Structure 1
């Protein structure tokens, strides 16, 4: 079953009863609404006047819902995840902590290979020559010592919006950087949720190592999935709509990310489900049962 993504942009009171998320509207004459908690994958709390009961938070987290809070500018700023990812969590933590440097470098090699390949697919889909990107994806060595990720990023961002914009990628840059930032924040929450459900610790990365970053592993594993966000943003840019204000309509489109189809060798599934396949395969790599992370490929 496809899990739902819920965004709350207006004042509301959230509670739970009988395994249902109960949504009340204290400032409006509207009946309460209910949603089965087991059907929810991500909840985004955007409005600063939302009240949520502790029992509701506990029920959501217990059902492995990623609970995202936003700041006063309506950008995702916090994430609540369950502490307990499964019965074998302590064992999986140990495997993760004891992972060798060569294994981590090999996993990073696979990650960057697939990221560049998926970026190349995006360029190919929008009519940009990507032969060099496909070639670079095959040239990545263990640990990416030649920084093919950086080379690919420079070419990719120079070209992806070239039909419509003079674009420079940067978190504080001009639109559509605001759309990309929002989409990546949602993707990060999805990734962290799946890592926890696979019994892994999102803090301990295979490449990212920032002592102030609680989601280093999520930032690693989301890399090949970023192009799925980029393609949504590209479609929005191509429509010629206003981008300076990240309004509810644009956010709603970006929040469709968990339902986007992603393709593996043997199946196509929603991204939320596909991410769980990826993180489960990563857990097997840490355990020594596999040497390959199962990443999706952008479909043409």
Structure 2
């Protein structure tokens, strides 16, 4: 099985040539050997793919994920006879133990709060209220410190009249950035052969992305930090590009530096391995690069 995830983000024609994926754009033509490819994510509705390539990808058991206009996955290509690995992954996911899910959620919440603290410090704001609440976090965050801190955190970061429920420029920026993160998280989870619907903490029947909503939490503060820095800007195309570019921001994961999208991919892989193996895999800390 290959190791590369191929992201198609611009208008392109995808076709087959001599056991290679052929990607033709207005600028150039690239060829990628099938044996290197694990998954192809077509993240734009401006691309086309030939029927012959589809049949070859199915034969080689290469996953293909199609995204809608909002960049969230809307469908995937599955052959009739070669989806054993994905079936096994889903069976594992359904069998994840409750204690392991709760332990991972505790780690996720703590990492998120640590990054929220970093955002406050970077903004020259006092994190004392967060430090006080952090001391009372319980297993599975059963006392819901995350929600308590979130209310105080956004008031401190933006202003005392701020509310996440209001139709404001700041909220539009935050929501757009979070949507970009959610989309990237959805793509990674599906690329690894798991269901986004089955979460470890979020369990809404109306949310198709419960697991994504869980695992993206430590990455939300990177959006908060960007929006705080750009809070005086208009929410226009420039600002949208700035928020999309968060995926290319350098951050730390453990002792190493990654661009955020690659850190997200490794983090999700580690979290899923942690759940599959009953806590036998190390979950490293996601953080701002300048805190290494």
TM-score (norm: length of structure 2): 0.77
Gapped runs of 5+ residues in structure 2?
A: none
Q: Secondary structure at 1:256's aligned position in 2?
A: helix
State whether residues 67 and 81 of structure 1, in contact with CA within 8 Å, keep that contact through their aligned partners in structure 2: yes
State the 1:123 CA deviation: 0.6
Gapped runs of 5+ residues in structure 1?
A: 24-31, 71-75
State the 1:218 CA deviation: 0.4
The residue number in structure 2 matching 1:216 is 210
* Pair 87,127 (structure 1): closer, same or farther in 2 beyond 3 Å: farther
Q: Secondary structure at 2:68's aligned position in 1?
A: strand
Structure 1 range deviating more: 112-121 or 32-41: 32-41
Matched, 1:123 2:113: no
Matched, 1:282 2:271: yes
The residue number in structure 2 matching 1:89 is 86
State whether residues 72 and 187 of structure 2, in contact with CA within 8 Å, keep that contact through their aligned partners in structure 1: no
Paired residue total: 271
* Pair 105,60 (structure 1): closer, same or farther in 2 beyond 3 Å: same
Matched, 1:196 2:190: yes
* Pair 230,112 (structure 1): closer, same or farther in 2 beyond 3 Å: same
Instruction: Trace 1:1-300 onto structure 2 (pairs within 5 A).
Output: 14-17=12-15, 19-23=21-25, 32-34=26-28, 36=30, 45=44, 51-55=46-50, 68-70=67-69, 76=70, 78-80=72-74, 82=76, 88-162=85-159, 166-170=161-165, 173-237=167-231, 240-243=232-235, 246-247=236-237, 249-287=238-276, 288=278, 290=280, 292-300=282-290
State whether residues 81 and 196 of structure 1, in contact with CA within 8 Å, keep that contact through their aligned partners in structure 2: no
Q: Secondary structure at 1:207's aligned position in 2?
A: coil
State the 1:104 CA deviation: 1.5
Give the distance between the partners of 1:67 and 1:139, measured in 2 at CA. Answer: 43
Q: Secondary structure at 2:140's aligned position in 1?
A: coil
* Pair 60,216 (structure 1): closer, same or farther in 2 beyond 3 Å: farther
The residue number in structure 2 matching 1:29 is none
* Pair 43,90 (structure 1): closer, same or farther in 2 beyond 3 Å: closer
Give the distance between the partners of 1:77 and 1:43, measured in 2 at CA. Answer: 9
Q: Secondary structure at 1:151's aligned position in 2?
A: helix
State the 1:131 CA deviation: 2.3
Q: Secondary structure at 1:268's aligned position in 2?
A: strand
Give the distance between the partners of 2:198 and 2:76, measured in 1 at CA. Answer: 16
Give the distance between the partners of 1:20 and 1:128, measured in 2 at CA. Answer: 51
State the 1:179 CA deviation: 1.5
| 1:153-186 CA-partner distances (Å, limit 9, x unpaired) | 0111101123xx953213x621121121111111
State the 1:68 CA deviation: 4.3
State whether residues 86 and 198 of structure 1, in contact with CA within 8 Å, keep that contact through their aligned partners in structure 2: no
* Pair 42,200 (structure 1): closer, same or farther in 2 beyond 3 Å: closer
Q: Which has the higher contact order (CA 8 A, sep 6+)?
A: 1
State the 1:194 CA deviation: 1.7
State whether residues 254 and 285 of structure 2, in contact with CA within 8 Å, keep that contact through their aligned partners in structure 1: no
Give the distance between the partners of 2:28 and 2:62, measured in 1 at CA. Answer: 16
